[in-house]
């Protein structure tokens, strides 16, 4: 007979809907699920005594009434339950039996029956999350309570008082949710899964919040590296309790849960009344308060939890009361948690930026970091100031990182690396600007080019790739292969176009070509139509573009790394090329495939230079005596031309067709 439930009754012990007046077991046709009536007793002798009374003919309600004292004291209940969802849990902690369960049994009577037990479970979890978020807001780096860092303001006392209140509410709601489930007849295995699943999160949130009580300094507390092992100690003990249930079929609640919860609540409450300084003292022998609590946590685990768990598993095998699994099956659940521990330990030990010291909260939570802030859209924003702001917010000092944003118009991922890019990003925000920060060298956009990787929507993220499509075999180039340039996608690109890849591979040779804006001519049903376009205006001798022989002056640029340039300004196209300068793929329409016109003076276009050191587009003029081609071109492209060999330069250094 399953005794009591976790923390006042886990929802795994909830009874199914049924009337206590029925005396017969109900069996479903075609299945093995059987509803049985049960009495939860503390000792086997009590169960046998109740069974004898039932065999003697005494009615079930009378037997139940005779054992109501044990039922109330142990948090048990009477009624129907499905054999397939039987949940066995045992709590022998004196604080739980003699203090908390009587209090919870009294308190749950004031809760309306229309309140769902899972709602109470989730509400208690939210109070634990709010406690964590409160200290993350006021003391993100765990410096506020450290006397060695006076530059960080101390936490106000009300934060500790609120934390104590929130933890008490979380503890209480977690204790009465199972009792509410049995009152409402909504017991089931899903309730157990939901309850203990949220408890696994809470087991990590509460110790991290308590770390702010002492701070991270070694004077009165412990360093983040030791706190890392304390968190793993809590997680291991929580995990071992469920590993014990996996083998024995019974969840034995450790005594340390109730004592640790009350200890944390009282510690926060004392700090709220007298200040966190009351926990900054040194015991005889040089034992600090942080070390004292560290010893206490490890002692509770090694003395009251781990030996008891191992003994219970041993007894279940000796008496054949457990699941009697093989050794490999019994130990199998310990493999993933051990692997997870080794992975996180390797992460903090081998981190090149010492992530645990730099941002311990990110390690403890093991998640990405998201922040939201506001900037004035109309101000003259400077990229360096914006970068400094991101560096301070995310604590990225001495870390090389890249900033990019998602263009709301076509969802392209574009870089922010100069003032023009930043102003354009702020202008295009509608109204939220999504900024992505990545460590330099780890960004896929650096390797594949900006715009080649688009953010996946929710549906595609869930469904994954296209079903049924087999992946092509990835064949890499030799390690000493140095591809300089090539024509790619010849079977996809129309014959009138050319797709060229310029791959630098660490070469110091500049890309070496200029682009300009101008007018392109398209043949439509209504005749010739002139539209804005981007063209190659000059090839620098000795540059990468000129040495390939694949690009020519007046080639029209159609795409940059798969992104169409139609409708984009010269500055936007320049930024796209600069961001992808190490691996640039451009689709062009060669000059001899376009319809162009003789020169007609009167209109002008702007030039933009692309080289390995370019950071932004340049509007060039004819002021440079050493580069006569770096000037405004007077070109009007309207009619057919003959041959590229007929191009000539005028005396004023302007290129004509």
pLDDT in tens, 617-652: 333 333 444 443 333 333 333 333 334 333 333 343
Greatest mean pLDDT among 244-258, 484-498, 585-599 lies in: 244-258
Query: Which range, of 362-371, 456-465, 548-557, 560-569, averages the lowest pLDDT?
Result: 456-465
d(CA 224, CA 133): 19
Specify the pLDDT at position 428.
76
Place of tokens 């029925």: 22
pLDDT in tens, 298-316: 988 888 888 989 998 999 8
Q: Facing residues of 436 across strands? A: 404
**Is the per-residue pLDDT at 169 higher than 80?**
yes
Domain 383-457, CATH among 3.10.20.90, 3.40.50.170, 2.60.120.1060, 3.30.70.2080: 3.10.20.90
Q: HSE on the CB side for 161, CA within 13 Å?
A: 7
For the segment 68-78, the average pLDDT, to the nearest whole number, is: 41
Question: Taking Cα atoms as reference points, which of 266, 295, 281 lies closest to residue 147?
Answer: 281
Question: Taking Cα atoms as reference points, which of 504, 506, 597 lies closest to residue 545?
Answer: 504
Q: Between 117-138 and 157-184, two packed helices, what is the crossing angle to 10 degrees?
A: 170
**Is the per-residue pLDDT at 159 higher than 90?**
yes
d(CA 196, CA 206): 15
Query: Which range, of 78-92, 122-136, 641-655, averages the lowest pLDDT?
Result: 641-655
Give the model's confidence band at 442: pLDDT under 50 very low, under 70 low, under 90 confident, else very high: low
d(CA 46, CA 71): 11
Give the model's confidence band at 2: pLDDT under 50 very low, under 70 low, under 90 confident, else very high: very low
**Is the per-residue pLDDT at 469 higher than 60?**
no
For the segment 50-58, the average pLDDT, to the nearest whole number, is: 75
Specify the pLDDT at position 21.
38
CB 616 within 8 A of CB 420: yes
Specify the pLDDT at position 12.
42
**Is the per-residue pLDDT at 260 higher than 80?**
yes
Specify the pLDDT at position 89.
67
Give the model's confidence band at 385: pLDDT under 50 very low, under 70 low, under 90 confident, else very high: confident
Give the model's confidence band at 38: pLDDT under 50 very low, under 70 low, under 90 confident, else very high: low
**Is the per-residue pLDDT at 26 higher than 50?**
no
Q: Per-domain residue ranges for the chain? A: 11-40+75-343, 383-457, 485-656
User: Mean of the per-residue pLDDT values for the chain?
Assistant: 72
Specify the pLDDT at position 6.
40
Specify the pLDDT at position 479.
46
Specify the pLDDT at position 62.
74
Give the model's confidence band at 351: pLDDT under 50 very low, under 70 low, under 90 confident, else very high: confident
Specify the pLDDT at position 452.
45
Specify the pLDDT at position 337.
92
Query: Which range, of 193-202, 288-297, 540-549, averages the lowest pLDDT?
Result: 540-549
For the segment 66-77, the average pLDDT, to the nearest whole number, is: 45
Specify the pLDDT at position 453.
46
For domain 485-656, the question of CATH label 3.40.50.2300 is answered with: no
pTM value is 0.52
**Vertex 602: Cα angle to 600 and 603 (nearest 5):** 95
Secondary structure (DSSP) of 454-479: ----HHHHHH-S-TTPPPPPP-PPPT
**Is the per-residue pLDDT at 582 higher than 80?**
no
Identical fold for domains 11-40+75-343 and 383-457, yes or no, is no
Topology of domain 11-40+75-343 in CATH is 1.20.120
Secondary structure (DSSP) of 366-419: TS---------SSS---HHHHHHHHHHHTT-TT--EEEEEE-TTT--EEE--SH
pLDDT in tens, 404-437: 888 777 667 778 888 888 888 887 777 777 888 8
């Amino acid at each position: 007979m399953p005794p009591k439930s976790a923390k006042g009754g886990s929802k795994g012990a909830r009874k199914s809907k049924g009337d206590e007046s029925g005396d017969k077991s109900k069996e479903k046709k075609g299945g093995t699920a059987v509803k049985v009536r049960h009495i939860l007793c503390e000792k086997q002798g009590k169960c046998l005594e109740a069974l004898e009374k039932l065999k003697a003919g005494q009615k079930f309600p009378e037997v139940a009434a005779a054992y109501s004292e044990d039922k109330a004291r142990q948090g048990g209940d009477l009624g129907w339950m499905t054999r397939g969802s039987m949940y066995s849990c045992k709590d022998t902690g004196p604080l739980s039996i003699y203090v908390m369960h009587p209090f919870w049994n009294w308190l749950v009577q004031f809760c309306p029956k229309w309140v769902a037990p899972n709602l109470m479970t989730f509400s208690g979890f939210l109070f634990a999350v709010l406690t964590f978020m409160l200290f993350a807001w006021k003391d993100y780096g765990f410096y506020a309570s450290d006397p060695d860092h006076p530059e960080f303001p101390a936490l106000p006392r009300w934060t500790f008082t609120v934390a104590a209140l929130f933890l008490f509410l979380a503890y209480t709601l977690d204790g009465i949710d199972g009792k509410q489930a049995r009152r409402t007849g909504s017991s089931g295995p899903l309730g157990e899964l939901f309850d203990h699943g949220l408890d696994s999160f809470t087991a990590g949130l509460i110790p991290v919040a308590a770390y702010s009580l002492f701070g991270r300094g070694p004077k009165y507390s412990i360093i983040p590296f030791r706190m890392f092992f304390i968190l793993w100690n809590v997680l291991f003990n929580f995990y071992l309790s469920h590993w014990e249930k996996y083998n024995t079929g019974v969840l034995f609640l450790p005594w340390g849960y109730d004592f640790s919860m009350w200890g944390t609540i009282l510690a926060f409450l004392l700090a709220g009344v007298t200040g966190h300084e009351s926990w900054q003292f040194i015991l005889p022998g040089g034992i600090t308060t942080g070390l004292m609590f560290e010893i206490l946590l490890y002692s509770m685990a090694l003395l009251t939890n781990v030996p008891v768990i191992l003994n219970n598993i041993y007894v279940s095998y000796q008496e054949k009361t457990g699941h009697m699994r093989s050794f490999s099956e019994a130990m199998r659940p310990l493999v993933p948690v051990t692997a997870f521990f080794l992975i996180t330990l390797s992460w903090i030990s081998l981190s090149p930026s010492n992530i645990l010291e730099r941002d311990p909260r990110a390690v403890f939570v093991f998640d990405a970091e998201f922040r939201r802030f506001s900037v004035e859209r109309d101000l003259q924003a400077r990229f360096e100031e914006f970068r400094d702001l991101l560096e301070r917010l995310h604590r990225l000092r001495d870390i090389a990182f890249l900033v990019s944003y998602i263009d709301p118009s076509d969802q392209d991922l574009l870089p922010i690396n100069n003032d023009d890019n930043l102003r354009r990003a702020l202008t295009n925000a509608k109204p939220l600007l999504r900024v992505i920060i990545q460590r330099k060298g780890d960004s896929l956009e650096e390797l594949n080019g900006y715009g080649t990787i688009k953010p996946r929507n929710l549906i595609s993220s869930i469904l994954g790739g296209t079903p049924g499509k087999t992946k092509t075999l990835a064949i890499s180039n030799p390690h000493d292969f140095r591809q300089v340039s090539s024509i790619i996608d010849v079977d996809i690109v129309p014959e009138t176009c050319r797709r060229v890849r310029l791959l630098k591979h660490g070469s110091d040779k500049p890309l070496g070509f200029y682009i300009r804006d101008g007018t392109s001519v398209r043949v439509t049903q209504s005749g010739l139509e002139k539209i804005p376009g981007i063209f190659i205006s000059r090839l620098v001798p000795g540059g990468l573009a000129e040495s390939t022989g694949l690009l020519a002056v007046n080639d029209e640029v159609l795409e940059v790394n798969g992104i169409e340039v139609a409708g984009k300004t010269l500055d936007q196209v320049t930024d796209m090329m600069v961001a992808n300068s190490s691996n640039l793929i451009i689709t062009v329409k060669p000059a001899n495939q376009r319809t162009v016109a003789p020169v007609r003076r009167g209109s002008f276009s702007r030039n933009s230079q692309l080289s390995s050191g370019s950071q932004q587009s340049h509007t060039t003029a004819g002021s440079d005596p050493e580069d006569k081609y770096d000037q405004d071109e007077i070109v009007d492209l309207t009619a057919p031309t003959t041959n590229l060999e007929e191009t000539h330069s005028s005396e004023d250094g302007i290129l004509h067709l």
